[in-house]
Amino acid sequence: MQTPRTELKARRLARGMTALKLALATGSTEGRLYALERGRGNPSRDEAEAIGRALGVRADSLLPPINNFTMA
Residue ranges per structural domain of the chain: 4-62
What is the per-residue pLDDT for 46? 92
pTM of the model: 0.80
4-62: CATH topology: 434 Repressor (Amino-terminal Domain) (1.10.260)
DSSP letters, 15-69, are TT--HHHHHHHHT--HHHHHHHHTTSS---HHHHHHHHHHHTS-GGGGSPPPPP-
Asked whether the CA dihedral 44, 46, 51, 53 is positive or negative, the reply is: positive
Residues 18-69: tens digit of each pLDDT:
999 999 999 999 999 999 998 888 888 899 999 999 999 888 887 777 655 5
